[in-house]
Amino acid sequence: MNSYRIAVVGATGLVGRTMLNVLEERRFPVSRIIPVATERSAGTTVPFAGEELPVVAIGEDVFDGIDIALFSAGGSTAKTWAPVAVKHGAVVIDNSSAFRMQEDVPLIVPEVNAAHLPDAAPRIIANPNCSTIQMVVALAPLQRRYGIRRIVVSTYQSVSGAGKKGLDQLEMELEGRNSPVRAFPHPIAGNALPHIAAFEDDGCTTEERKMIDETRKILDDATIGVSPTCVRIPVPFCHSEALHVELRAPFAIDDVRSALEELPGVILIDDPESTAYPLATIATGRDEVFIGRLRRDPSVENGLIMWVVSDNLRKGAATNAVQIAELWRLLREGA
Ligand SMILES: NC(=O)c1ccc[n+]([C@@H]2O[C@H](COP(=O)([O-])OP(=O)(O)OC[C@H]3O[C@@H](n4cnc5c(N)ncnc54)[C@H](OP(=O)(O)O)[C@@H]3O)[C@@H](O)[C@H]2O)c1
């Protein structure tokens, strides 16, 4: 079996640390791991497979001999350094939005559109936005069976979606301390903020724009209407979503239930009488997408409503990226 030299760029961050855990848990064949971050973190260590690995500052030489560069260090870092990693012969799997909508860059959720990764895999592969990943996992089987006309989605996104700063701000506010770091424009404890990332001219936020554009690219249908409102809530981990879907064909709710139950990576929790439905506290630390509150939407033809919860740091980021690396490896090794 081949084993690979991997650079994890952003290794000291929430996603980077989770990537190291996921590589270890899934026994990705690794011959060497280089944790990379800023100069500030150089010399600190991160745990991997029972060892403490020294973090190195980003620079051209860190990509020497690297096969796979997993990036989770923001868009501008990816724009500057992904081409350098590629020049050194690595395949880049990037968690930022830097390359997602580039035509020659596949945007992959392995359970949904593995076929979008061509046999001669490109040198940059993008990992979608966390809210989009869990939504398309839930929608893909419905698209295959019935077609999708329109999606109205409200998200309830955890503070870890904003990185270390987001968790720090919530923690400090809950302790009644004044947070010196501000990830959000208002206090997050006690609030639901209808504002994630920057506002665009039409009033949409860039987070909402990502859900629109990326969903269409992944589901390969530019005609799907997507109407998101993205909201940050004071929950540490996991994003929750209320999904209102207008299908193109009539459906039986039991058929939808079976289609979702059959999906790898999906767990249905749907017994309202015993108050059983997906919760952030259930999904934290898990790789699956949890779905519940399945019901018909009588206000529209072929309308379906569901509640979808997943761990943004795992399936929404690190796990999906490692699954892409596994897919790349299969293609490369021709297994
Ligand atoms: N959090 C999520 O749920 C989530 C989900 C999907 C995608 N993403 C994406 O993943 C990326 C990281 O998110 P995160 O939540 O892990 O953020 P984070 O906790 O703030 O961590 C950011 C990481 O990037 C490193 N970094 C920043 N600038 C760098 C530079 N110029 N060169 C090298 N390393 C640099 C930081 O290093 P230092 O520690 O040295 O500063 C740190 O390791 C972002 O692009 C984000 O959009 C996040």
CATH number of the CATH domain containing 253: 3.30.360.10
Q: Which pLDDT value is given to residue 179?
A: 77
At 119, the pLDDT band (50, 70, 90 cuts) reads confident
CA 147 remoteness from chain centre: 24
Which of 9, 15, 207 has most ligand 1 atoms within 8 Å of CB, for mutation?
15
- Of 189, 171, 193, which Cα lies nearest the Cα of 181? 171
* Beta bridge pairs of residue 70: 8, 93
Question: What does the chain come to in residues?
Answer: 335
- Of 282, 288, 279, 237, which Cα lies nearest the Cα of 260? 288
307 and 159 belong to one structural domain: yes
Compute the distance from residue 11 Cα to the ligand 1 centre, in Å.
8
31 and 62 belong to one structural domain: yes
Half-sphere exposure of 299 (CA within 13 A, CB side): 4
236 and 272 belong to one structural domain: yes
304 and 327 belong to one structural domain: no
At 156, the pLDDT band (50, 70, 90 cuts) reads very high
Question: Which helix (H) or strand (E) element contains residue 238?
Answer: none
Radius of gyration for the alpha carbons in the chain, expressed in angstroms and rounded: 20
11 and 60 belong to one structural domain: yes
94 and 150 belong to one structural domain: no
52 and 189 belong to one structural domain: no
Ligand 1 proximity of 13 Cβ (cutoff 6 Å): yes
Task: With a cut of 80, say whether residue 121 has pLDDT above it.
Answer: no
89 and 167 belong to one structural domain: no
85 and 144 belong to one structural domain: no
Range of the domain at 27: 4-127+317-333
Backbone dihedral angles phi then psi of residue 305, each to the nearest 5 degrees = -120, 140
Ligand 1 proximity of 130 Cβ (cutoff 6 Å): yes
CB distance 38 to 27 below 8 Å: no
Place of tokens 């009033």: 203
- Catalytic residue set: 130, 239
Task: With a cut of 60, say whether residue 229 has pLDDT above it.
Answer: yes
User: How many domains does the chain fold into?
Assistant: 2
CB distance 224 to 215 below 8 Å: yes
136 and 123 belong to one structural domain: no
At 335, the pLDDT band (50, 70, 90 cuts) reads low
73 and 194 belong to one structural domain: no
| pTM summary value | 0.97
Backbone dihedral angles phi then psi of residue 187, each to the nearest 5 degrees = -60, 140
Compute the distance from residue 82 Cα to the ligand 1 centre, in Å.
14
- What does each C-alpha distance from 328 to 63, 64, 92, 106, 139 come to in angstroms? 18, 20, 11, 12, 24
Give the mean model confidence (pLDDT) for residues 312-331: 97
Ligand 1 proximity of 73 Cβ (cutoff 6 Å): yes
Q: Which residue has the higher pLDDT, 273 or 179?
A: 273
